[in-house]
Chains A and B, each alone.
Chain A
Amino acid sequence: MNKKAMGFLTVASSAIVLAACGSSSANSNDQVIIYSNADDEAIEVMQNTLNEKGFEGEYIIQSVGTSELGGKLLAEGKSIEADVVTMASYYIDSADAQHEMFLDLTSSQALIDEMSNVQLPILGNVGSIFINTEMLAQKGLDTPTSIKDLTNPQYKNLISIPNIMDSSTGWLLVQAVIAEYGEQEGQQILADLIQNVGPHLESSGSGPIKKVKTGEVPIGFGLRAQAIDAKEEGLPIDTIDPIEGNYSLVESVAVIDKEDDEKEQKAQEIALTIANEARVQLLTQYPVALYEGESVSDEPAYLKKWATTLTVELLQQHQAIFEAAKQ
């Protein structure tokens, strides 16, 4: 074989080797992988805290949508890529019941509400209505005070809400409606609301606030904290606590049992740092007390919690009601 022919084969084989090398370098990484469903504001707080505590470069945060992460936890169990997750508490419990996949975590502080010992709460998300005041005035619309108000035909195609099928924020709305009006009337209200929402049913919990901020629609339902942030940025945005209630969801941090001691230990340290050290700053963004001794200013007017423990099964039931209302 002459030199040139050899050259050709070398190029060909090196191409294959290059591809193979690329793959091995991806695996040789010992960074702790954190899957998080949190908003980018919360992720920023976690990142800053971890970096301050000397974890810079030792972890990588991957944001994943709530339902996507939930699906991954349920489907993959321990073989999930992540070492640490921050996620809605009910999903962590359901996944643990199915796969026994998390390590125990204990906090130095006492919790207000009892929780399973595989997770530590890091923030509480509260839902509310929010409005773009300028646009509302421009269109000559009444200011709504309840979720039921939003079914008024005057708001047709002017409301944005998150879809409970993809977003846990959407569940906050459905919880408020069902708790207040019962399943039957609740479903009718949801049906009318979905009619009014039209094309503005969002797959992401932060979809509605973006639409209200950019003026795509004047009214939205979503996380109260995000609307308050927008107002503080100087945008013409107000929050309205619906009389049906500001329901809340707790998000927690949990460590996956990977049977790899060294990495597991680091993962646990990181999880505890998020739970203990980032909490102060997260509390100002998400004003819901979770640990004893915490005080909050600017608490929502109608703070409420679902009467029983939240579970994936309950979510499924509420999703079914929502889907039926959509037809």
Chain B
Amino acid sequence: MLKPTMLMRGLSIIWLVIFIFFLALPLGAVVVKSFEGVDGWTLHNYEQALTSGKFKEAFFNSVWVSTIAAVITTVLAFLLAYTVHFTNVAKPIKKFIRLGVTLPMLLPTITYGFVLIYAFGNQGIFSRLFGQPLFTIYGFNGLVIGYVLYTLPAAFLLMHNAMQYMDHRFIIVSHLMGDGKWRRFYHTILRPMLSPIGGAFILAFILSFTDYGIPASVGGTYDVIATTLYQTMLGSIPSFSQGAVISMAMLAPAVLGMIMMGILERGNVSYKSLSQQVAFASTTKTVLFGSGSVIVVLALIAVFTPLIIVPFTTAYPFDFDFTLAHFQAVIQMPELMNVYRNSLLVAIGTALVGVVLAFVAGLLSARTKLKSRQAFDVMAMITNAVPGMVLGLGYLFFFNNSSLKGTFFIIIAYTIIHFFTTPFLMVKNALQKMDPSWEVTGALLRDSWLKTIYRIILPNVKKTLIEVFSYYFINAMVTVSGVIFLVTTHTVLVSTKIKELQHFSKFNEIFILSLFILVTNILVKVVCEFYINRQSKRG
């Protein structure tokens, strides 16, 4: 590794300033606000929140419903990942499972709620199919289903990733040693997977606990903490200091979860070499897990069918004739098309700037000896733990009186910081795997650091950067939670417009806008995959 140069130090200082300005200070503003009283510092805000029955109820509702959802998600994600890695299910089916389960990631969570109403409500597609509603969709049930849909992709990817690095030869050895089924399952799969399973549970819990979109659409009278925060901040009688206290409460389980995740990580099992040859998967197991997983994924996709049915029927549920009238009406509304352009601008801006920032942070952290490089790991940890709503609120408090208020810049900055963890880790991991002596070799050949980066590092990390681009783009398109506090008339995004249309129950528009997001995200994903594949073939 090279000795730190002025350039490296300069870049790192720039990054640290960004970090302080767009993460530390806004969060500090939330903390300060929570202790702010009419005259000076006070604990009164906390006292008030803790004695309020409404707040306590919402908090425990959130804990309870998120726990149930996280348990279901963890079990499902494990089964799906297990099917993909440890059975002989045909390759196309495995691919179908892998792609199908990640579908919900391409839509805002607020859309799921509306889709659920039209799938399982009194007039829902499935209710009509079965002659009556199967269950009440508003409140607890809707929240659990919505949260499972929302968290399953992330939990699945986590386990899928962990199973990729498991050595299947241990299973063969276990077979040869004549272990019983359960003993083999426990020692070769469950025990090495304990840490990712725990991680998936915590992840699913935190995502559910802090999500705003699903309760906003399907929560009914079941109050959860995210809707309470929204009501407190933007309700009829707003209280900013109470909002700050609720934010702090929202932060607590997330921070706890991050700490537990750190502890779990120590239990990680690592393998010296890998063999992905699937070992002795019996036909029964293959059929059982294969069909089970396919049913789960089909059910998941089926939930989203109202999205392509409702907006294309004349007047659901009275007139089922096919029509493009609603679609045309939306396209012709100048205001809605503006909103779509806004979203594209934010997504592209976030993705482009995000790639640069994640790359620089990863580079400084993985390939320099800078003392400040640990700051990037700390920052990644923090952004992972801070819920979007809390960060958004921090921005509202901190930038309220600045000229940045109400600009696209602030929305892009928020989105980059909020989703920073994954891109940073992707870049860092990719850079760490590269030969550590490249820069030194470059320096010996009298290439500058920048030149080495450009000629050697960048080409090798291109694939990862495209993945980062796609990650940032998609998340910027679907995020609602924090940006609801930041958008103004000129910067309304598709996802926040959906929230607004809810006010008038304009479901056709809601679904068509959701389709806009979905199709855009699929396009970006396909184009990015195409480039990644081309890179792989070349490499």
A residues touching B (Cβ–Cβ < 8 Å)? Answer: 1-2, 4-5, 8, 11-12, 15-16, 18-20, 22-24, 26-27, 29, 33, 35, 39-40, 60, 62-68, 70-72, 74-75, 79, 81-82, 165-166, 198-201, 204, 206-207, 210, 214-217, 312, 315-316, 319, 323, 327
Which residue on chain A has the smallest CB distance to residue B454? Answer: A5
Bound Cα distance A196, B346 (Å): 45
The chain B residues found within 8 Å of chain A, CB to CB, are 53-54, 121-123, 136, 138-139, 220-221, 231, 233-238, 240, 317, 335, 345-346, 348-349, 352-353, 356, 401, 404, 406-410, 412, 448, 450-451, 453-455, 458, 488-492, 500, 502-506
Given contacts A15-B353, A19-B409, A199-B136, contact A8 B503 (CB under 8 A): no
Bound CA span A29–B387, Å: 33
A326, closest chain B residue (CB): B221
- Chain B residues lying within 8 Å of A199, measured Cβ to Cβ, are 136, 138-139, 220-221
Q: Are B237 and A215 in contact (CB-based, < 8 A)?
A: no
- Assess A204 versus B504: contact at CB under 8 Å? Given A18-B349, A23-B409: yes
Q: Say yes or no: A206-B505 contact (C-beta < 8 A), given A1-B450, A68-B235.
A: yes
**Residues of A contacting B136 in the complex (Cβ-Cβ under 8 angstroms):** 199
B406→A81 contact, CB < 8 A: yes
Q: How many Å lie between the Cα of A327 and that of B53 in the bound state?
A: 10
Complex Cα gap A66–B503 (Å)? 10
A228→B481 CA distance, assembly (Å): 37
Which residues on A sit within 8 Å (CB–CB) of B139? 199
- Which B residues are CB-close (under 8 A) to A19? 349, 352-353, 408-409, 412
Distance to closest chain B CB from A130 (angstroms): 15
Q: How far is the CA of A107 from the CA of B504 in the complex (A)?
A: 31
Q: How far is the CA of A204 from the CA of B217 in the complex (A)?
A: 11
Question: Contact between B451 and A2 (Cβ–Cβ < 8 Å)?
Answer: yes
Given A60-B489, A315-B236, A214 and B138 contact (CB-CB distance below 8 Å): no
If A12-B356, A23-B407 touch, does A74 touch B489 (CB 8 Å cutoff)?
no
Chain A residues with CB under 8 A of B237: 70-71, 74, 312, 316
Chain A residues whose C-beta falls within 8 Å of the C-beta of B235 in the assembled complex: 67-68, 71, 165-166
- Measured in the bound complex, the distance between the Cα atoms of B337 and A214 in whole Å is 28
A57 shortest CB reach to chain B, Å: 10
Q: A199-B136, A199-B139 are in contact. Are A63 and B122 (CB under 8 A)?
A: no
The 7 closest A-B pairs by CB, nearest first: A23-B407, A15-B352, A67-B236, A199-B138, A23-B409, A19-B349, A71-B238
Report whether A5 and B236 are in contact in the complex, using a CB–CB cutoff of 8 Å: no
A-B contact pairs, 11 of them (CB 8 A): A16-B356, A18-B349, A26-B408, A27-B406, A40-B506, A60-B335, A204-B504, A204-B505, A207-B505, A215-B317, A217-B122
A62-B455 Cα distance, complex, nearest whole Å: 50
| CB nearest neighbor in A for B489 | A62
Q: How far is the CA of A312 from the CA of B235 in the complex (A)?
A: 13
A1 lies within 8 A of B451 (CB): yes
Q: Contact between B505 and A210 (Cβ–Cβ < 8 Å)?
A: yes
Assuming A19-B409, A71-B237, what are 9 further A-B pairs, CB within 8 angstroms? A2-B451, A22-B345, A23-B408, A40-B504, A63-B504, A68-B234, A68-B235, A210-B505, A327-B53
Q: List A contacts of B346 (CB < 8 A).
A: 22
